[in-house]
A and B are shown apart, each in its own frame.
Chain A
């Protein structure tokens, strides 16, 4: 029954990720009241799961008919800008899946619409809010790590088969790139220099290997994405003058390595034991949290949306700034431009 006065949310797009947003929206205290998808059957199936009262075949009709406070744009990336701008112009806050859009020009249009309407535009850089990443960010922000020297990301995986991948520069790599890139940029800041390589085109769907080297002031960023390497892996390493931090985003562990002034013999074994203990205790804790339902998949999205909806209720700042949204799209464009300039191989 719709008699509550809580925040009303509409979803645009009823794909796989919409099934993840739904429960986290509810957990953040808001109500999904309508779903729009060109595939009305998909919209209805999702509505059945989440007890949603109305479904629309297009976002425009939903915006016109419903009194929404927030719209989640969960459609393929090339459709984000138009839907988000329409929603913002209709006076609703927008959460948009990553990447925010395909070009800086598109992001700028979205930001302009958000500014004009006085509404939030929040891109779902959810990994930044995974508990292990929140901890890593705290270590950097509080200076525990010392001065940051470099950031490395490594991601081995495959992109899910999706009809719209062909709309994305880099195909599967283009789909995998946003997550590690926004994680890097959160630590690097503005990129001064950039080199990129995309290679291994053994099939027609585009390259399978991507390497990016970036420099921002005195900090370097290295990014590896492999669609060939196994097993699947997703890690981020932060090098600081006082500490090195290893974040495993798949297994949700964070290992801190610090200098120990101990005799040489112990110095060979103590760090290993410390590492083993950190892995052991964190694995135990996260297992318990999963089994008891305290943690679910995409925990970062839960944290991000909980902050976002607090901001909606209390008029705060979006947990992800529009500058972050823009810089990810900007650097993505720079990466593919550098690769394109160099023909089939390396780019600078």
Chain B
């Protein structure tokens, strides 16, 4: 099948291209002018230069494609909202429109598990594919806010009957990226302080496993209109994760869990004075409350409907990632 991939030089997109090429698919990779495309071409992908801000500029290349995997996005921690909006929100909207117009039979939108509302408190929240979006997107930074808006655009197209599949992976890791060490954590000599509880879930996804899910989402018949949350192992808890991590890194740091409830009063007090003085919300407080939530995500749909499973198990995935970092 001819597959068009955006974000093909990115952390996830590059793996998608390799897997597609490896499986004998005919890959067209969207690349920003100036990016290094030698590796893509070496794998046999056809390179098209263009940018998500200007879908019309490359829309002709969508003709004849059976699938589109939209793994590209403007990923930065700073910059103007308009850049995120044009690239991630309007880019997604127009790319879906152009794909439908070009007769593409499957559009896979890569979203994120970070877009959801998690509420407050200590009780466990089970987040499924129908969970509402974060109610305070303005406190989430431009990137996450734009991913929420992009997900809305994809869901709107999906509801309109476009052959869209939305995949929302958890925290991606793998060679080339620092390993996940808790959302809020700090190394202190022989100790690693992690703000969480040992029993809280770890919603991570190995990048090769996520890429496999995207390829399945693009090639499996009959899954149009499906939405998949994606984590390697729904049952993975902090305690287990950090012992696997210690084994992979052969590091002896002792993990100490700081219950979020212990720090919340102090954080809320700072947030209160910040609001009093600056007259706006202190965003780290909100992000802290979110990251300290006991939220679990299920991969049941991806397993049952896509036939996906985490091919690379967490211990092996961590070892590969740790080895690559040495």
Contacts and interface: CB of A to CB of B under 8 A. Distances in A.
Interface residues of A, number: 20
Given A51-B135, A54-B152, A55-B152, A44 B160 contact: no
Interface string B137-170: 1100000010011001101100111000000000
Given A51-B135, A61-B160, A65-B159, A44 B152 contact: yes
Interface stretch (B52-60, B126-134, B209-217, B270-278): B126-134
A261 B125 CA distance: 72
A281 interface: no
A121 B133 CA distance: 32
B169 to A, nearest CB: 20
A34 interface: yes
A65 B156 contact: yes
Contacts of B153: 40, 55
Given A51-B135, A66-B159, A1 B152 contact: no
B161 A64 contact: yes
Contacts of A44: 89, 149, 152
A3 interface: yes
Nearest to B133: A53
Contact of B138 (A34, A48, A53, A55): A48
A53 B155 contact: yes
B156 A55 contact: yes
What does DSSP make chain A's interface, helix, strand, loop or mixed?
mixed
B85 interface: yes
A47 B132 contact: no
B90 interface: yes
B130 A1 contact: yes
B90 A40 contact: yes
Interface string A1-14: 11100000000000
A60 to B, nearest CB: 9
Contact of A48 (B90, B137, B159): B137
Q: Considering residues B85, B90, B133, B159, which has the most beta carbons from chain A within 10 angstroms of its beta carbon?
A: B159
B106 interface: no
B70 interface: no
A225 to B, nearest CB: 38
A332 B93 CA distance: 40
Interface string A274-313: 0000000000000000000000000000000000000000
A190 interface: no
B110 to A, nearest CB: 18
Given A3-B130, A64-B160, A47 B93 contact: no
Contacts of A316: none
A56 interface: yes
Interface in B159-186: 159-161
A217 interface: no
A65 B160 contact: yes
B138 A61 contact: no
A57 interface: yes
A120 B130 CA distance: 31
A47 B130 contact: no
A41 interface: yes
A277 B299 CA distance: 68
Interface in A46-97: 47-48, 51, 53-57, 61-62, 64-66
A41 B156 contact: no
Q: Which of A48, A57, A62 has the most CB of B within 10 A?
A: A48
A57 B138 CA distance: 21
B159 A2 contact: no
A62 B160 CA distance: 7
Contact of B132 (A53, A57, A62, A65): A53
Given A2-B130, A64-B161, A40 B89 contact: yes
Nearest to B160: A65
Contacts of B145: 48
A44 B142 CA distance: 13
Contacts of B131: 1
Top 4 A-B residue pairs of the complex, sorted by shortest distance between their CB atoms: A65-B159, A65-B160, A44-B149, A54-B156
26 contacts: A1-B132, A2-B130, A34-B156, A40-B89, A40-B149, A40-B153, A41-B85, A44-B89, A44-B152, A47-B149, A51-B132, A51-B133, A51-B135, A53-B132, A53-B152, A54-B156, A54-B159, A55-B149, A56-B156, A61-B160, A62-B156, A64-B160, A64-B161, A65-B156, A65-B159, A65-B161
Interface of A: 1-3, 34, 40-41, 44, 47-48, 51, 53-57, 61-62, 64-66
Interface of B: 85, 89-90, 93, 130-133, 135, 137-138, 145, 148-149, 152-153, 155-156, 159-161
